[in-house]
Amino acid sequence: MSTISYNTGPVIAKAIDAFSRCTMLVDVGGSRGTLLANILSSHRNIVNSIVFDLPSTINHASSSMDDNDFERLGISPSRYRFVGGDIFDPNTVPKADGYLLKYILHNMNDENAIKALKSLYKVALRPARIFIIELVLDEPITSEVVRRQWTVYAEDFIMLGTDEGRERTLQQYVDLLQKAGLTFFKLHEIGLDERVIESYID
């Protein structure tokens, strides 16, 4: 996903003004932090941030930082750090007022997606913003929609071959948010196949 974030990160970072409302931003499943580095570059007011991923991923990312996006973009080391943990264990999830989940929930079935969101609900500093970056299926499904979103439907077809993942419609994401205690706020169209679903926790 780092390669995808390398291409889309600058677009996402500049398109979402709401990132600037966060004083502590956590990139859940952020791997090397490519997306987070782009956001910090565009939003200088964010003075604290965390790349949060499984310990094995964090260890690998921290030990192979020769191609460091934070350094490449001139981000001070005082503004970011790497933390290992598990999104399904809220005791390991950092407290923050902003969370990024890029291509995370589409790897999960509904039960696990709700469990992950509930972890954020439990630990988030109030008020908090949650930004879900995913491919979103348009409704109603018509031949024109399928033609326009053929790459999204192709990805969904691939995901059907797994036991866990799937692409979802906006309403399906809203349902997940509500079941986890979060409130849907806005769908951001950013000129990419990806869209940004902004929600909040009071």
Pick the catalytic residue: 43, 60, 106, 188? 106
Contact between 33 and 80 under an 8 Å Cβ cutoff? The reply is: yes
Distance CA 167, CA 154 (A): 10
Pair of tokens at residue 20: 């600037």
User: Does the annotation count 106 as an active-site position?
Assistant: yes
Contact between 163 and 110 under an 8 Å Cβ cutoff? The reply is: no
The helices-and-strands tally (H runs, E runs) of the chain is 8, 8
**Helical spans, DSSP H, in the chain:** 2-15, 34-42, 55-63, 69-72, 110-123, 143-148, 150-159, 170-179
Contact between 88 and 64 under an 8 Å Cβ cutoff? The reply is: no
Give catalytic residue positions: 106
